[in-house]
Structure 1
Amino acid sequence: MYTEVLQALVLYSFIYFLVTPVINYFRDPKGLRRYPNFYALSGITDLPYLYEAWKGFRSRNLTEAHKKHPVLRVGPNSLSYGDPRAIKDIYGHGTTCIKDRFYSELSGSHPHLADAVDKDNHARKRKVLSSAYALKNLEGWEFKVADITVRLVKVFDERCTVPLSPNKLPKKEDMTIDYRMWTHLYTISAMANIGLSEDLGLISQASDRVLSESRDGTVKEVSFRQCLSAMGHATYDFVWAYDWYPTLVRVSKLLSPKYRQLWHLNDDWNGIIFNRGTTRLRKHRAGEKLDDFFSAMMEDKNGTPHNLEWGEILAEISIMMNAGSDTTAISLNNVMFFLLKNPHCMEKLREEIDAVLDDDDIVAPYPKVKHLPYLRACLDENLRMLPPVIMALPRRTPPEGTTILGEYVAGDTSVSMTAYAVHHNESIFKDHNVYRPERWLGEEGKSLQPYFIPFSTGARGCIGRNISYLEQTVLLATMVHRYDFALPSPDWELVIRETANLNIEPMPLKIWRRVPECA
């Protein structure tokens, strides 16, 4: 009996995983065989796309492939676009495409704003949350960002070294800060304060240790950054084969110690959110009137409750603490890298900032620096070069199909475009591999805006872009005005892995005060 069951299982697997996909490829019910394959087997199986995810920088490889083919078949039911004209068809306000299965596969019991597939549900969520993310609200929370920046300045002052001598490399013992770590502690702290009125104390402690709480009440201390990174890494490696995803998760837990640990850390991430949410809820129920994101979720400006379910509230806290901290931290790290690699850009930016800040401005006041054109250009050029959300954001065509680049695409087909491919399209961005902030100034900058999509675009564009710019503007202006920095060597490069967010390895820097000199 056991042998017969095993034989039947093997036969079923053979038919399901090999025979049926091959038959469907040649039947071609959606007419997708007319598109070139990313890999030879891309029209039959999603495994090559998973392999590219596992390799670590799929968007760059897709960009290279799109130089020959504006549309590529990356899976049996998936198309990737490299022609910037497809942006409006896939992501624009008038698109008929909806969010792909990617989002529903990864969402929990309650999808958050970024995961919501249904357009009506998304519109409801955005209406509730728009006041929390409105620019007027954020500028009212500027003091929270300033407070976190003051704390970071204090820590950096303590880690200052003597100025670097001309034409000398920094000593190993003078590499006193990991800018990648500190910018992430900065953004985690800022989002916890803005979102939940919570002081996590991460900067003063030089640590990302926080509490994670399981549903049975068990509490333990974990690494915020490690849990967040694990979540993005594990899901990114497997989710692209939608039908296989639950099975791949189970098998990876069973067979791989590495992935078993990643999924365990993913559970700890959920515990972090649960602990943060329940902590803030107790304050709310105790009657504390706090001006933060959580309050905006609970009731409108007139005090009328939104009556969101608890699972939905936790989901929104999760995306706020995830994307709200990591993507901005990535941007802050990378813009400093590009400025240090391009000293003429750093000098020009410093001149602009020094002209509006006083010597006693410990933190750059947002009103003084928010409209500086070159500062914004430096930030945007960094977002062009290395978008923090670098992966292709998948959409799904409606059941009746749609038109993309003037061609009909059958219904229920996954379509996507990575921002990296758009931002490194030579026909749009000349010298695309060169960090040149000047391209964003004047009329040239205005003409490039339709092709600038680090926050995506259309109705599903990132609702948190204003808060990201606030944090980036204040911190970068403060750092450039107060300090000098040096990389380990002129040829030092970032170590990058593409996951759900761009994963950046540590960036060690030497730091010293400009004026006055560090004691």
Structure 2
Amino acid sequence: MDLTFLLSVVLFILLSPLLYRIYTVLASPLHHIPGPFLARFTKLPYFLSIYRGQAHQDNIALHRRYAPPGQHFAPIVRLGPNLYSITSPDKAVYGVASKFPKSSWYEGWRHPNPQRWSLFPNRDIARHAETRRVFSSIYSMSSLVGYEGYVDTCNGIFEQRLRERARGGEWIDMTRWLQCYAFDVIGEITYSKRFGFLDGGEDVAGLIKALDANMRYSTLVGVYSWIHPYLYRMLEKMPNSGAGGRTYINQTIQRRLEERKAERKKRTVEGGGKAKLSVEEEGAPKDFLDRMFEMLEDGKKGVIPYHLFMLCMSNVVAGSDTTAVSLSSVLYHLIRTPRALEKLREELNAAEKEGEINGTEIGFNASMKMRYLQACLKEGLRLLPATGLPLWRVVPQGGATVCGQFFPAGEVGINTWVAHYDKDIWGEDVESYRPERWIEAEDQGGEKIKTMEAYYMPFGLGSRTCIGRHISWLEMSKVVPKLVRTFDFELERPDKEMTTQNYWFVKPVDFSVKVKLRAESIV
């Protein structure tokens, strides 16, 4: 046999996978969708973007780079062979009746043991809806009044810690302190017991470190989710790995649950069959666990023992980072926008004169009526939304039309950062902190405010909206007024934009401030 022919056959066999991939790319009905060249063949560029912690900025840059003439963003860009980033929160994808399940990326957030399932990474649409119904009442807006006292407790401790730092005159990591605050609020609401982060502004038992490791691991491994079950088993015994961090969090939560079980068992014996409250607890609001235990013991709503663990896990994993990021953004932008800060203080002073503020605390119902405060919060979450990756959904079998394009298969997703930085929606001042845009749009009414609300998605979209969003809003609505009325803040680097690192949650890394007591607050 001719050697040249033999070599040609061998070469053809070796190159066949590549040739086939090139053919499928060229023959694809989606070959015209723009994106980085390598993204047509591999998810590696997307993985590296996440690895660098800047996927949110890279995502925006791609939509701007490939924008057609006369538009600020390309409506669809390619991030991988079957990954398509979109700019519109299409109702077919994210509506309440959506048939688009979550993608395999969420597998990275799931425990390999199928018995240890949780709400966030649940890809089964029906099971998610059923599970969410179990939790909905204790996360509802109407339940917030019962949790307000827990927030007030932490607000008072937080104020005291900042007063101490003001007297010391040192620079402090404000994001870290805000996370300590959010962690302790979650502890109070869930267990009626703070974790203790506000005692010294330190990482109690390494919980924040464990969470950060878990976030990084889950975010990265989700891109190649098939490796997750194997990698997790290798790493779960290593304390500094993401898998090890998750194990530590699980153990911490389980320990708290066992403590409450023992406590309720003792009370039940003392109460003759029903959990007995102490004198101090009579009439006190019930925390999350008390409500869940009552639902479990009454046999209501199909509550099972595992739901209690899931509830605590969801609160701890999602309840501190998101609120800390959101509070960091609101406070940072108020500091950098003196006009907005002064206007907010004027509104708060007027509310105090009208009796809406009792001492240094503002009631949640009163805060919700304060238009400028609410606009400041919304604008802060628009400019720095807590999540920074596309909300990936799988195109259902048979294909579907999304953003005017038919997709025979693949995954589509909108990144909150892309939605919040689209000039076609928010105007030329999209990068400016301007709370007035919300009040102007509300007063104008019509399509403007409807469009803004449709593209505003700091807590997700549709049936997968963050179940704890009302808790986060309760915290922000109460602590921001306290902070801006009591303290002035000086940025260590006022001329430098805040930098962030994105491993699903987009966390500020250089929000360093000096806290000063306002003259009228010195007591």
Q: TM-score, normalised by structure 2?
A: 0.83
CA apart distance, 1:75: 1.7
Asked whether 1:147 is paired with 2:153, we answer yes
2:290 to 289, 295, 299: 295
SS of residue paired to 1:99 = coil
Partner of 1:4: none
Report the residue type matching 1:386 in the other structure.
L
Report the residue type matching 1:100 in the other structure.
S
Partner of 1:274: 254
CA contact (8 A) 2:486 2:521 kept: no
Cα distance between partner residues in 1 of 2:147 and 2:96:
30
CA apart distance, 1:47: 1.2
Partner of 1:124: 130
SS of residue paired to 1:239 = helix
Q: 1:157-306 alignment to 2 at 5 Å?
A: 157-161=163-167, 174-209=169-204, 222-246=205-229, 261-286=241-266, 287=268, 288=275, 291-300=286-295, 303-306=298-301
For each residue in 1:269-317, what CA deviation from the matched residue of structure 2 results, as whole angstroms up to 9, or x when unmatched? 2322222333333334444467122233344499334554444432332
CA contact (8 A) 2:108 2:218 kept: no
Structure 2's unaligned 5+ residue stretches are 1-9, 67-73, 269-274, 278-284
Q: How many residues align?
A: 476
Asked whether 1:351 is paired with 2:346, we answer yes
Cα distance between partner residues in 1 of 2:229 and 2:27:
26
SS of residue paired to 2:85 = strand
Q: 1:60-71 alignment to 2 at 5 Å?
A: 60-67=57-64, 68=66, 69-71=74-76
Partner of 1:75: 80
SS of residue paired to 1:433 = coil
CA apart distance, 1:347: 0.7
Asked whether 1:96 is paired with 2:99, we answer yes
CA apart distance, 1:414: 1.4
CA contact (8 A) 1:184 1:325 kept: yes
Pair 500,117 (structure 1): closer, same or farther in 2 beyond 3 Å: same
1:510 to 511, 514, 518: 514
Pair 424,354 (structure 1): closer, same or farther in 2 beyond 3 Å: same
SS of residue paired to 2:425 = coil
Partner of 2:396: 398
> Between the two proteins, what is the percent identity of the paired residues?
26
SS of residue paired to 2:223 = coil
Cα distance between partner residues in 1 of 2:213 and 2:158:
26
CA apart distance, 1:142: 0.6
Partner of 1:458: 462
Q: 1:364-443 alignment to 2 at 5 Å?
A: 364-411=362-409, 413-430=410-427, 431-441=429-439, 442=442, 443=444
Report the residue type matching 2:399 in the other structure.
G
Asked whether 1:335 is paired with 2:330, we answer yes
CA contact (8 A) 2:344 2:372 kept: yes
2:53 to 53, 56, 59: 56
Pair 28,188 (structure 1): closer, same or farther in 2 beyond 3 Å: same
CA apart distance, 1:450: 1.0
CA contact (8 A) 1:128 1:297 kept: no
For each residue in 1:65-105, what CA deviation from the matched residue of structure 2 results, as whole angstroms up to 9, or x when unmatched? 112232122222221112x2x43232122422111112234
CA contact (8 A) 1:369 1:474 kept: yes
Report the residue type matching 1:488 in the other structure.
E
CA contact (8 A) 2:217 2:241 kept: no
CA RMSD of aligned residues (A): 2.9
Partner of 1:168: none
More displaced, 143-152 or 38-47?
Answer: 38-47
Partner of 2:20: 23
CA contact (8 A) 1:356 1:369 kept: no
Cα distance between partner residues in 2 of 1:187 and 1:307:
30
Asked whether 1:482 is paired with 2:486, we answer yes
CA apart distance, 1:399: 1.6
Asked whether 1:114 is paired with 2:94, we answer no
For each residue in 1:134-170, what CA deviation from the matched residue of structure 2 results, as whole angstroms up to 9, or x when unmatched? 1111122111111110111111222224xxxxxxxxx
Partner of 1:136: 142
For each residue in 1:346-378, what CA deviation from the matched residue of structure 2 results, as whole angstroms up to 9, or x when unmatched? 111111111112697122232332211111111
